[in-house]
Amino acid sequence: MRPSSPLFPAILAGFVAVLVGYASSAALIWQAAAAAGANPQQIAGWMTALGIGMGASTLALSWWYKAPVLTAWSTPGAALLATSLQGVSLAETIGIFIFANALILLCGVTGVFARLMRLIPHSLAAAMLAGVLLRFGLQAFSNLDGHLMLCGSMIAAWLMAKALAPRYAIVATLLVGIIVAWAGGDVVTKELTLSVVMPEFIAPTFSFTSLVSIGLPFFLVTMASQNAPGFATMKASGYPLAVSPLMIFTGGLALLLSPFGVYSICIAAITAAICQSPDAHPDAGKRWLAAIAAGTFYLLAGIFGGSISGLMAALPLSWVQTLAGLALLGTISGSLYQALNNDVERDAAIVTFLMTASGATIVGIGSAFWGLVLGGVCYAVFSRVRRA
C-alpha cells in the first residue's frame, strides 16, 4: 500500500464509526420497539431496514458529494420513543414514524431548516461539536477505574503509535484492545450468530392524539438534537454542504421505509466526526472514503440485523467507549481550537460548549440544541454591545 493512499485507516474509521453508532444506541431502539409491542422477529427486521437505509444513504450521499456524509438513526428520538410508546399499538407507531418523517421532508422542501443553519456562526458550531463529543473523550479515561488493564493498555498503545506512526494510532489501539480483552475473557461469543431477518411491512394507522403527543415531540427532538448537530458537525469539520437537498434525501428515504420500522434517517454527528477527522485520512478531500467504508459496514450490519444484539453482548462496553474516545481526541481538540481561537466570539463559544457538555434536557430537547440557542443569544447580545 502506498503511503500516499492510506486506505486502511479510512476503512478502520468507517468500522469504528458504525461500531460506536450501534454500541451506543442499538439497545435503545430494541427497547422502543418492544414498548410498541413488536416481537423479537419484528425488531430484528427493524434493525435490518435501519442498517440498509443508513448504508444506502451514506454510500449514495458520500459518493455524490465526495464528502464524508454519514447518516444515522436519531438516538434522542429512540430515547423519547422508548419512554412514550407504552400502550400505543404497532400500527399507530408506524403512523407516528410516517408523520414525523413527512414533517422532516417538508422542512427540506421549504428550506426553512437551511435558513436556520446559515445563521449559526462557525465558532458556535465548533463549540457545540466539542461539547457533544466531550463525554466520549472523557470515557476514554474514566473507564480506567474498573478496567485498568484493558483501557490502560489501549491508551498506552495509542500513545506509542501516536508518537511513532500517528496515522495508525487507532489501528494499534483496536488490535491491542482486542488481544487484551480476549486474553482476559471479556469477549463472549456464545450468543453470537449470523442470521438474516427480512423486514416486515406494517400497515399504519393514524391517531390524532398519538401524532400530537408523540409524533410532534419526536419530530422536534430529531431535528433539534440529531439533524442540527449533524449539520453543525459537517460545517465545523470543513464540509458546509447544502442543507435542504440532504434533508429531502434523508427525510424522503425514511418516509419510504417507515412501514418497515425505519423511524428516522438523519445526518450523523458523533459517528460522522470519526470519519471527518484527520485520523481517517490526512487529505480532507479524501475522507469521504471513510464514509464509503462506513456505508458498507452499515449495509452488512443491516443484512445481519438479527445478529446485532449478540454482537453487542460479545464486545466489552469499556473497549468500545475507550476506542471511540481516543478516535475522537483529534476532532475534540480541533473543534475547541476553532471555537476559542476568535477572542471576539470566545465568550459565546464557551457558553455553547459548556451548555452542550452539561447534557441537560429541557422540555424533552437535548443540550446540543440549547447550547446553540444560549450561545446564539450571547453572540447576538455581545455583538450588539460591541457595535453600540
Q: What is the three-state SS of 247-280?
A: HHHHHHHHHHHHHHCCCCCEECCHHHHHHCCCCC
At 101 the pLDDT is 95
At 27 the pLDDT is 66
- Indicate the pTM of the whole model: 0.72
At 219 the pLDDT is 87
At 1 the pLDDT is 40
Nearest to 211, CA basis, from 91, 82, 112, 45: 91
Mean pLDDT by 10 residues, the chain (388 residues): 63 86 73 84 88 95 95 83 84 94 92 76 80 82 88 92 80 85 76 73 91 83 82 87 92 96 91 86 90 93 71 71 79 84 89 88 74 89 83
| Residue 58 near residue 295 (C-beta atoms within 8 A) | yes
DSSP β-bridge partners for residue 267 = 71
* Grid coordinates given for 127: 463549540
Task: Fill in the amino acid letter for 370.
Answer: W
What does each C-alpha distance from 253 to 6, 50, 98, 317, 322 come to in angstroms?
A: 32, 11, 11, 31, 33
Q: How far apart are CA 53 and CA 188, in angstroms?
A: 29
